[in-house]
Amino acid sequence: MRAGKTYRMGRIFGADGRTLILPVDHGLTFGRVEGLEDPVARVDELLDLPCDALLMAPGLTRMTADRFARRDAPARILTLDTFFRLPGEQEAGAGLAASVEQAARLGVDCVKLFMAWNVPSRERSETLARIAEVVRRAEEFDLPVMLEPIAVGEERTPEAIAVEGDGARSAMEVGADIIKIAYPGPELMAAWSAELRLPLVILGGPRTGEADAVLTLAEESVEHGARGIVIGRNVWQRPPDVARRLMQRLHEIVHG
Amino acid sequence: MRAGKTYRMGRIFGADGRTLILPVDHGLTFGRVEGLEDPVARVDELLDLPCDALLMAPGLTRMTADRFARRDAPARILTLDTFFRLPGEQEAGAGLAASVEQAARLGVDCVKLFMAWNVPSRERSETLARIAEVVRRAEEFDLPVMLEPIAVGEERTPEAIAVEGDGARSAMEVGADIIKIAYPGPELMAAWSAELRLPLVILGGPRTGEADAVLTLAEESVEHGARGIVIGRNVWQRPPDVARRLMQRLHEIVHG
Amino acid sequence: MRAGKTYRMGRIFGADGRTLILPVDHGLTFGRVEGLEDPVARVDELLDLPCDALLMAPGLTRMTADRFARRDAPARILTLDTFFRLPGEQEAGAGLAASVEQAARLGVDCVKLFMAWNVPSRERSETLARIAEVVRRAEEFDLPVMLEPIAVGEERTPEAIAVEGDGARSAMEVGADIIKIAYPGPELMAAWSAELRLPLVILGGPRTGEADAVLTLAEESVEHGARGIVIGRNVWQRPPDVARRLMQRLHEIVHG
Amino acid sequence: MRAGKTYRMGRIFGADGRTLILPVDHGLTFGRVEGLEDPVARVDELLDLPCDALLMAPGLTRMTADRFARRDAPARILTLDTFFRLPGEQEAGAGLAASVEQAARLGVDCVKLFMAWNVPSRERSETLARIAEVVRRAEEFDLPVMLEPIAVGEERTPEAIAVEGDGARSAMEVGADIIKIAYPGPELMAAWSAELRLPLVILGGPRTGEADAVLTLAEESVEHGARGIVIGRNVWQRPPDVARRLMQRLHEIVHG
Amino acid sequence: MRAGKTYRMGRIFGADGRTLILPVDHGLTFGRVEGLEDPVARVDELLDLPCDALLMAPGLTRMTADRFARRDAPARILTLDTFFRLPGEQEAGAGLAASVEQAARLGVDCVKLFMAWNVPSRERSETLARIAEVVRRAEEFDLPVMLEPIAVGEERTPEAIAVEGDGARSAMEVGADIIKIAYPGPELMAAWSAELRLPLVILGGPRTGEADAVLTLAEESVEHGARGIVIGRNVWQRPPDVARRLMQRLHEIVHG
């Protein structure tokens, strides 16, 4: 691996090769999300909690630059794109909202792109072409690329999970350095981790009923090969004391 | 903030961090608007009134350059794009009508883009991609970017206001330096100002029945956190004496 | 105004600020037009008549370059684009057919673009984006830009004229140096001339029944503020002697 | 005319300003055409026959480069684009399949583009925009451009011929140096040759019943002003001895 | 042929001008394909078998670079694009997923593109335009280009085979150095090999019932002019011992 990428991957995954990532990038696509109404204040709170990296969009990254201007701050991953699909729409909308140059200028350690995979063929090929161009530019800056293949808005059926598995393979082939994916269950988790030979990080998704369900998810994921978890709404959409406890436990699960 | 941006933001917002902006950019998109039939003459009249900045399209900016060629002239904000949607159309039309290079050449202090947010997903993603490219170029010139998220042609329902709140968050995340938005009522005005941590300036919109309604709007907005107001038709679509009185009162409200 | 533009505008409008322009650019879009079957021969005839500038497409400009290779030749304005809309079509076709670089290489004094304004919103925004890019490039060469806003194929109702008035304002705002437009009647002619503060030149359109109708059109236009006329088919689609008389009278009307 | 263009036009048209062109470029668009199954072998046979230039697509041009690597070889014209329209399709497909840079690298004397003119307005404007960009690039290399306006798949009615006449004029205006067109009959042949002031070369089209019909076509065309003929299938889709005789007669007709 | 291309073609085809290529690039388009769930492990197994080149997508190429970092390793061919068409879709999706620059950086010996040919005219012309641009860039790096014309998802009727024959000719004309195609039967195999004058390599396609059917396919193909075979699923979707035997026999057939 080239020097710049080695350096940045080390900042994200640390010595044990595991990472606990806090996503607070929802505003770019979803707007004023509950629990993230004041993203800067949220980041300030979260910075008290154990965490290896934050996932942010360009605006929040710029506004919080001073918080990270110290050697022991968490790493930062920049969200580069959006995906919109309103209820009842035939055609989704996806595209870049930032550039690799801006990422390099901001000094982040990684760029992240979305990969909606339960979409028409034309959207699939446009998505890969857009990602491929970002990968090409990112190579020039030694910037790692995180890709997130998702069957958007579908139930967790075996078919939907298989679509995401196919997306994960396409993501690996188009040049992902890290793959962010929904937990596919123990067997596939172990299989994909071994097969893709890239660090897989598991997303938490919308807040689930039980706070502790997140811990079970994290334990199972890590136990079966996940290199990290990316859990946001299930943490910061809960009361501060619950959120604090969750992050501490998640940190133990990931790094313990 | 980089030096060029600090300088330009200071020219727009002044010492007290507040601004009274006069928009006269309607011609680019709306053509020969009532009260703005002769935009140069209108600018000459308006320049007698207290005002911190004018919002203009490229042609008018070029034609009135000499009026601003003095050290104590108001700042100038350049409108870069258009948004058309004729009655009964399914698909709107939006695109650039000027470039960041032209803005830099004209010496303006800021560029402004529209962000229609009650549109299909494809138009949303195209709008963000277009804005993101302008933001990238503007960074190279240290030019501030003003974004205007709007639920076009909708009644002021809580849903419409929420759409604009989501648009404002997306605007912040894609890289806005200033957000121009419709007044969302006292609670949300205070909330958004605190949350977005960017100067919000409130638009006046079409002329309303009562002249004084504008003053109430301005007072409420500023009282609840607005950093300025952008009122055009409600001023220059009224008789000169009314317009003068309104501007003087607005100036007192904003800066008093 | 920058030096190159001052020089070229002076070549088109002369000392009295008025101009008589002969359009012979129809072939690019309309093909083998009656009266212009042999455009080079036509140009040779027309060059005997009093005329300040010719409007031509790239091919004819190239073929007749030697005729203009003298210091007292008329100026040349290059048509850069096309607009097609066949009977019964929902969607028109518009686009560039030449570049600013070619214009600069050919040494013409101005470039001219069409602006169909009674079109869907998407076509409007695409047209402005295309024009804006040409304006940006033309600025680099100090080349004046002539824009022609038209309600294509409509009767001369007040509504159609108002659409063209809106288009003229948009044309001014996107960066026109000269606006070519259909005569809107005395009041609007006077109003637009005063308001737009750009030279307006009036088009003759298809041949009308009476030859002298053209003279009336020219007289009225100039009397109410037009800075010139652009009359082609109404001249060269008539017998040579009639055409000669018309041009001589038009020259007197414009410059007398 | 610039030096490079003068040189290349001279190589195509020779001293008497006439040319006999053999088109063997059908494979790019039509695939494995009868009589051209083995294009290299076909070229080798044809090179024994009198001929001024061959029209070829990039692959065949590259494969036969050695055959033309001598001072007295025929000139080569490179086909740059394709036009597809399958039975029953509403929308045709057209686009570039090679670049001016490749043409310059291959050392050909001219580039050739297709101009389907009985198409919707949008396709017309896209075709002209694509051609205009090629013309702009070709100017930088002094490369002549041949354009071929066609009413695709229509009977030879006066209306269809008029459409091609309009296309020929548009071709001249967008910057053609040579126009390839279907024979429009004696009067129009004479008229277009005089009016367009560009060398017109006549295409042979699909094989007709009678071999000698080609000779009549060539005689009439040249008699009425054609500067050359471009006949392929009517030659090489016939038996070798017939093809040889035809070429010899065609050469006499064109140059005799 | 230019030096860089001579060198790379020699690495693919060897001294006898024949090649046995193993495709393992399926993940990019098809995702987690049976038998290729763990592509790196699969490559490691396959590297024990006789083979001249592997066809891989960018991710796998990057991950296995060290395996090929020796002078006697097989050559590598990089898949640059994708083609998606889900059941029931009218419109397919095709596009680039990597660039010629990435290929040059990775040090591969060839780039490969797909050419779906039983598609609407618009898709055909877009495919050729996309390929032509890759050909132009590849020329700058002396990189050979392999094209694969296919009648996707059709039965092997004479019509479907003829469509692929037409595609093969278009592939040759747009600039292919190698053509990958389905076996068209003995007569056409011999004919196309002679006519196209490019090395044709035959694809194996989905696993067929009988393992030995592959050997018959290879024998027939090579006997009638194929310069190589590209067989993947029919090898690595079978038990290891069967796969080993098949590869050894295929190597004998191709090089014996």
Query: To the nearest whole angstrom, how far is the Cα of E167 from the nearest Cα of chain D?
Result: 6
- Taking any CB pair shorter than 8 Å as contact, residues of chain A touching chain E are 120-126, 128-129, 131-133, 135-136, 139, 162, 165-170, 172-176, 191, 194-195, 197
Q: In whole angstroms, give the CA distance from residue E106 to residue E114.
A: 20
Handedness of CA A134, A136, A142, A144 (dihedral sign): positive
Instruction: Give the per-residue pLDDT at C68.
Output: 96
CA C5 to chain centre: 18
Among B32, B85, B99, beta carbon nearest to C169? B32
* Nearby residues of E76 by Cβ (< 8 Å), 6 or more positions away: E53, E54, E56, E61, E68, E106, E107, E108, E109, E110
What does the pLDDT look like over D161-183, one tens digit per residue? 999 999 999 999 999 999 999 99
Task: Write the CA distances from B1 to A62, B4, B200, integer angstroms.
Answer: 10, 8, 18
- DSSP string covering C155-224, please? ---HHHHHHHHHHHHHHHHHT-SEEEEE---HHHHHHHHHHH-S-EEEE--SPPS-HHHHHHHHHHHHHT
Neighbours of C239 (CB within 10 A): 9
Tell me the three state secondary structure of residue C147.
strand
- Taking any CB pair shorter than 8 Å as contact, residues of chain E touching chain A are 25, 27-32, 37-41, 57-60, 62-63, 82-86, 89, 91-99, 101-102, 105
Among A41, A58, A93, beta carbon nearest to B123? A93
**Exposure string over A84-121, b if 16+ CB within 10 A, otherwise e:** bbeeeeeebbbbbbbbbebbbebebbbbbbbbbbbbbb
Q: Does the pLDDT value for residue E77 go beyond 90?
A: yes
Task: Write the CA distances from B239 to B230, B232, D209, E64, E164, integer angstroms.
Answer: 19, 13, 82, 76, 75
* One-letter amino acid of D147: L
Query: Which residue stretches of E88-184 are H helix?
Result: 100-106, 121-140, 158-174
Q: Compute, in degrees rounded to 10, the torsion defined by CA atoms A101, A102, A107, A110.
A: -80
Question: Could you give the percent of chain D with pLDDT greater than 90?
Answer: 92
Which one of D161, D170, D173 makes the best mutation probe of the C interface by having the most chain C beta carbons within 10 Å? Answer: D173
Query: To the nearest whole angstrom, how far is the Cα of D88 from the nearest Cα of chain C?
Result: 19
Q: Does the pLDDT value for residue D209 go beyond 80?
A: no
Instruction: Give the per-residue pLDDT at C207.
Output: 81
**Please, which pLDDT band fits residue A54 given cuts at 50, 70 and 90?**
very high
CA C123 to chain centre: 21
Q: Which residues pair with D180 in a beta bridge?
A: D201
* Nearby residues of B188 by Cβ (< 8 Å), 6 or more positions away: B161, B165
ipTM of the complex: 0.95
Q: In whole angstroms, give the CA distance from residue A208 to residue E85.
A: 35
Q: Which of D224, D157, D154, D147 is nearest to D192 (CA)?
A: D224
**Which residues from chain B sit within 8 angstroms of residue C177, using beta carbons?**
none
Tell me the three state secondary structure of residue A95.
strand
* Nearby residues of C66 by Cβ (< 8 Å), 6 or more positions away: none
Instruction: Give the per-residue pLDDT at B125.
Output: 97
The chain-wide mean pLDDT, for chain C, equals: 95
Q: Which residues pair with A75 in a beta bridge?
A: A53
- Contact call for E and C: 3+ CB–CB distances under 8 Å: no
Contact in structure between D178 and D229 (CB atoms under 8 Å): no
Q: Does the pLDDT value for residue C194 go beyond 90?
A: yes
Query: Do the Cβ atoms of A125 and E98 come within 8 Å?
Result: no
Beta strands in chain D (DSSP E): 19-23, 53-56, 75-79, 81-84, 93-96, 110-116, 145-150, 178-181, 200-203, 228-230
**For residue B155, how many C-alpha atoms fall within 13 Å in the half-sphere facing its CB?**
2
**Which residues from chain C sit within 8 angstroms of residue D169, using beta carbons?**
27-28, 31-32
Question: Could you give the percent of chain E with pLDDT greater than 70?
Answer: 100
Q: How many residues does chain C have?
A: 256
Q: In whole angstroms, give the CA distance from residue D176 to residue D152.
A: 20
Backbone phi, then psi, for B240, in 5-degree steps? Answer: -50, -45
Among B31, B40, B98, beta carbon nearest to C170? B31
Q: Chains that contact B by 3+ CB pairs under 8 Å?
A: A, C
Weakest mean pLDDT among B76-85, B179-188, E61-70, E85-94: E85-94
In the predicted model, what is the mean pLDDT of residues A155-168? 97
Query: To the nearest whole angstrom, how far is the Cα of A56 from the nearest Cα of chain B?
Result: 9
Instruction: Give the per-residue pLDDT at E206.
Output: 81
- Cβ neighbourhood burial of D73 (10 Å; 0-12, 13-18, 19+): middle
Q: Does the pLDDT value for residue A25 go beyond 90?
A: yes
Pairs across D and E, CB distance < 8 A: 97
**Which residues from chain D sit within 8 angstroms of residue C112, using beta carbons?**
none
In the predicted model, what is the mean pLDDT of residues E192-198? 97
- Taking any CB pair shorter than 8 Å as contact, residues of chain B touching chain C are 25, 27-32, 37-41, 57-60, 62-63, 82-86, 89, 91-99, 101-102, 105
Weakest mean pLDDT among C123-137, D196-210, E128-142: D196-210
Instruction: Give the per-residue pLDDT at B251.
Output: 96
Q: Which of A213, A161, A210 is nearest to A188 (CA)?
A: A161
**Please, which pLDDT band fits residue A207 given cuts at 50, 70 and 90?**
confident
What does the pLDDT look like over E222-247, one tens digit per residue? 999 999 999 999 999 999 999 999 99
Q: In whole angstroms, give the CA distance from residue D112 to residue D81.
A: 8
Q: In whole angstroms, give the CA distance from residue C187 to residue C195.
A: 12
Tokens for B223, please give them: 């009282």
Which one of A130, A146, A169, A193 makes the best mutation probe of the E interface by having the most chain E beta carbons within 10 Å? Answer: A169
- Cβ neighbourhood burial of B48 (10 Å; 0-12, 13-18, 19+): exposed
Instruction: Give the per-residue pLDDT at E146.
Output: 98
Q: Which of C111, C59, C122, C124 is nearest to C80 (CA)?
A: C111
Handedness of CA D59, D63, D69, D71 (dihedral sign): negative
Q: In whole angstroms, give the CA distance from residue A142 to residue C108.
A: 48
Instruction: Give the per-residue pLDDT at D238.
Output: 93
Query: Do the Cβ atoms of D136 and C62 come within 8 Å?
Result: no
Q: Which of C39, C68, C40 is nearest to C233 (CA)?
A: C39
**Please, which pLDDT band fits residue B208 given cuts at 50, 70 and 90?**
confident
The chain-wide mean pLDDT, for chain A, equals: 96
Neighbours of E128 (CB within 10 A): 26
Tell me the three state secondary structure of residue B78.
strand
Among C174, C191, C195, beta carbon nearest to B28? C174
Contact in structure between E112 and E78 (CB atoms under 8 Å): yes
Query: To the nearest whole angstrom, how far is the Cα of D70 from the nearest Cα of chain C?
Result: 34
Instruction: Give the per-residue pLDDT at B207.
Output: 81
Chain A residue closest to B138 (CA)? A102
**Which residues from chain E sit within 8 angstroms of residue D88, using beta carbons?**
none
In the predicted model, what is the mean pLDDT of residues C226-241? 94
Q: Which of B38, A104, A110 is nearest to C192 (CA)?
A: B38
What does the pLDDT look like over A56-72, one tens digit per residue? 999 999 999 999 999 99
**Please, which pLDDT band fits residue C244 given cuts at 50, 70 and 90?**
very high
Chain C residue closest to B59 (CA)? C173
Instruction: Give the per-residue pLDDT at D185.
Output: 97
Q: In whole angstroms, give the CA distance from residue B231 to residue B245.
A: 14
* Nearby residues of B69 by Cβ (< 8 Å), 6 or more positions away: none
Query: To the nearest whole angstrom, how far is the Cα of C163 from the nearest Cα of chain B?
Result: 8
Neighbours of A242 (CB within 10 A): 13
- DSSP string covering D219-240, please? HHHHHTT--EEE--HHHHTS-H
Query: Do the Cβ atoms of C62 and D162 come within 8 Å?
Result: no
Strand C53-56 vs strand C75-79: parallel, antiparallel, or unpaired? parallel
**Which residues from chain E sit within 8 angstroms of residue A124, using beta carbons?**
82, 84, 93
Contact in structure between B84 and B94 (CB atoms under 8 Å): yes
Contact in structure between B45 and B69 (CB atoms under 8 Å): no
Q: Does the pLDDT value for residue C23 go beyond 80?
A: yes
**Please, which pLDDT band fits residue E207 given cuts at 50, 70 and 90?**
confident
- Taking any CB pair shorter than 8 Å as contact, residues of chain D touching chain E are 25, 27-32, 37-41, 57-60, 62-63, 82-86, 89, 91-99, 101-102, 105
Instruction: Give the per-residue pLDDT at B97.
Output: 98
Query: Do the Cβ atoms of B129 and A60 come within 8 Å?
Result: no
Query: Do the Cβ atoms of D82 and E194 come within 8 Å?
Result: no
Question: Who has greater pLDDT, E184 or B211?
Answer: E184
Tokens for C51, please give them: 């005329």
Q: In whole angstroms, give the CA distance from residue D13 to residue D75.
A: 9
**Which residues from chain D sit within 8 angstroms of residue C66, using beta carbons?**
none
* Nearby residues of A154 by Cβ (< 8 Å), 6 or more positions away: A118, A160, A163
